[in-house]
Amino acid sequence: MKAQARTSSMTSNSMTAGTMARRIIHDDPSEGAAAIIKTAIIETPRVKNDNGKDAKADRGQVVQSLCRALNILTILGSNDGPMTLTELSEAANLSPSTTHRLLTTLQYERYVRFDQSARGWVVGVQAYMTGANFLKTRNLVDVARPRMRRLMEESSEIVNLAVEENGEALYLARVGGPRAAQVAVPQTDRTLLHCSAVGKALLAGMPETKVQTIVTQRGMRQFTRSTLSSLPALYRDLTLVRTRGYALDQEERVSGLRCVAAPIFDENSRVMGALSLSGSSRRIEDARLRALGEMVKRAAAAVTQELGGRVPVPN
């Protein structure tokens, strides 16, 4: 009965996934589920209650033993190798006897296992399966939309969400700010990558060979006097994107329009999408660019975390 209930739940969750997100994001559970154990399950922000307080502080609704067991799973998942009972008990701030009892329970449910050869505890197959199911059911648009609204409210500018598809930026969602009607943002579902902030944010996370392939196939059409028109110039710009963590469109696609974008990463630290702000050059002045860039970067990092992704560590 217990196994049947689990199967029913997993089937139901799979059916709720957005088909567009699955088609575009190309989730591969076999490749990323192990990383999800360290990210989506472990790094998901704590749930807030209706009063905006940390739900963990509401002790009347917390099962202490469950919290302790999940903390042990979190510690194991964040460690690169097996851990001994002593190491785990010290990291969890629990007695060895309590730690062992919780480990035994987790082992019974296959969330952890004891590696006999290494003489230590490691994450088990059930945790892997939970992470794989998360990969199958996550939806980029659903996760990003609340962050997009908040970003729009903070900046009063238009917020866009895009992914790369067939060498172009494909827009999945757009949230308009109070000044949206005053901005001549092209109402298109796609744009080239070399001339847009979202495009350059996506390109910055790709290998140089893929960037060159896309540019060869799509070309570098000159939309305005500011459009980058050579591969070396694009490479220099992408280096800046990686350094500061966000990309700029300095009227490169439309005269009088500026954009700032930051990448969203998957569990393997690969770019899976980008968030951007768009506004007129009169409002998005040089003095605002850095502040808006950091604002977009924080929002994209939050979406990355909620999707179970990992922001790459700069070299």
The ranges assigned to domains in the chain are 28-137, 140-306
236-251 residue pLDDT tens:
999 999 999 999 999 9
**28-137 against 140-306: fold identical:** no
**What pLDDT does 11 receive?**
37
**What pLDDT does 140 receive?**
87
Band of residue 198 on the pLDDT scale cut at 50, 70, 90: very high
**What pLDDT does 30 receive?**
34
pTM: 0.61
* CATH 3.40.50.1820 for domain 28-137: no
What dotted CATH number matches 140-306? 3.30.450.40
Summary mean pLDDT of the chain: 79
Give the chain as a 3 state SS string.
CHHHHHHHHHHHHHHCCCHHHHHHHCCCHHHHHHHHHHCHHHHCCCCECCCCCEHHHCHHHCCHHHHHHHHHHHHHHHCCCCECHHHHHHHHCCCHHHHHHHHHHHHHCCCEEEECCCCEEEECHHHHHHHHHHHHHCCHHHHHHHHHHHHHHHHCCEEEEEEEECCEEEEEEEECCCCHHHCCCCCCCEEECCCCHHHHHHHCCCCHHHHHHHHHHHCCCCCCCCCCCCHHHHHHHHHHHHHHCCEEEECCCCCCEEEEEEEEECCCCCEEEEEEEEEECCCCCHHHHHHHHHHHHHHHHHHHHHCCCCCCCCC
58-112 residue pLDDT tens:
556 778 889 999 899 889 988 888 999 999 999 999 999 999 999 999 998 888 9
